[in-house]
Structure 1
Amino acid sequence: MSTKYPKPSKSELIAKMNEGLDHFLAFINQFSEAQLLELKDAVGWNGRDHITHLAAWVEGIGALLRREDRWAAMGLAGQILSNGQSDYDAMNAQIADQQSHLSPAEAREGLIAAHERTVAAVDQLDEADLLLPYGRFVAPFTEDSGKPVWNYVAGNSFGHYNQHTPWIKAIVNQ
């Protein structure tokens, strides 16, 4: 999620988020439940796992914007660290394991709901809030360095949906 995005206005960001979800849903809607559940990649993920992963990360960014515990909103028991750094592989494995009981349709509905909550969180912010650094949304809400939070919104919504599209395509086209 290190892609650079041009700075959007709040309305442009929301429009890109919604457009990204619409494109992603149109993409996954072409596949059957069996294609999204039974076929797996080399690490054991199926299409449903990718969808629940996306739902968790967009949910987390929505919680962050509401100044809530991002990791708890994602279903993680605290940020998983390895050598003092976030262990994203372990976090993603925990998310996939927790959501493995969902059908692809349930995962899709969860993604839509998480996306809508995050759009609502963005809509509650002022334009200036979107320029604040990530750390201003994490207790104690005083960090002034780092990228503007809108970068994280983009990277955890439409940017993330785009990132996972070819991976899901590769799984279902086996």
Structure 2
Amino acid sequence: MAEHIAKEQLLEKMQSSYAIFTALLSPLSEAQLTTPGVNGGWSIKDNIAHLSAWHRRQIARNEAVRQGVEIPDPTPGMSIEEINELYYKQNKDRSLADVLDEFDETARAIQESVESLTDEQLNSPIDWLNGRSLAPYVAGDSYEHYEEHTEIIQHWLAQQSK
């Protein structure tokens, strides 16, 4: 059984990891943010759009659990790699300003959606999530995801400075 995580602890981890991620981005130039090759052909901007897409997916899950309803999988039968490629294609031509604005908006919205849930809603098994609780999905689409992409971007930036 998954470990219980209190809502306040989850929110704290989300806020802390978000702050670290945005601090990493803040001194970067537009050229650094839009240069491809960070991971595969993706730029930092593409990584940010990717995080926003997963935020939106999680916000929908959170809202469904809050309302006590089931939502269908928006990408049935697709692997994580296929979903990520889909999100990349949907966002690759968007402006940097638009992507950054959306990231701020969805980061705030995912935080608010978690705040609207109870500890029980976050930690109880949910049938349509294959009996898993919501909390690990929230972690995976927020603070764990920020940490993963922070490492990717830091590695790329270190390679650029050599």
TM above 0.5, one fold?
Answer: yes
Dislocated runs of 4+, deviation >4 Å? 68-71
Specify the alignment match of 2:139 in structure 1. 154
User: 1:101 deviation in Å?
Assistant: 2.2
For 2:85 and 2:20, the matched residues in 1 are separated by 26
User: 1:18 deviation in Å?
Assistant: 1.4
CA contact (8 A) 1:60 1:70 kept: no
2:108 is aligned with 1:113: no
User: 1:80 deviation in Å?
Assistant: 4.6
Specify the alignment match of 1:74 in structure 2. none
User: 1:69 deviation in Å?
Assistant: 4.7
2:88 is aligned with 1:96: yes
Q: Deviations over 1:42-63 (max 9, x none)?
A: 6211111111101111221111
1:66 aligned counterpart, secondary structure: helix
Q: How many residues align?
A: 153
Give the letter aligned to residue 147 of structure 2: N
The equivalent position to 1:62 in structure 2, one of 59, 62, 72, is 59
Residues 90, 159 of structure 1: CA spacing in aligned structure 2 closer, same or farther, 3 A cutoff?
same
For 1:105 and 1:166, the matched residues in 2 are separated by 23
Give the letter aligned to residue 28 of structure 2: F
Residues 69, 103 of structure 1: CA spacing in aligned structure 2 closer, same or farther, 3 A cutoff?
farther
Show structure 2 runs of 5+ residues with no match: 65-69
Q: Which has a greater percent of helix?
A: 2
Specify the alignment match of 1:79 in structure 2. 75
User: 1:94 deviation in Å?
Assistant: 1.1
For 1:128 and 1:91, the matched residues in 2 are separated by 29
TM-score of the aligned structures, taking structure 2 as reference length: 0.82
Percent of aligned pairs with the same residue? 26
CA contact (8 A) 2:5 2:123 kept: no
2:101 aligned counterpart, secondary structure: helix
For 1:20 and 1:134, the matched residues in 2 are separated by 26
TM-score of the aligned structures, taking structure 1 as reference length: 0.77
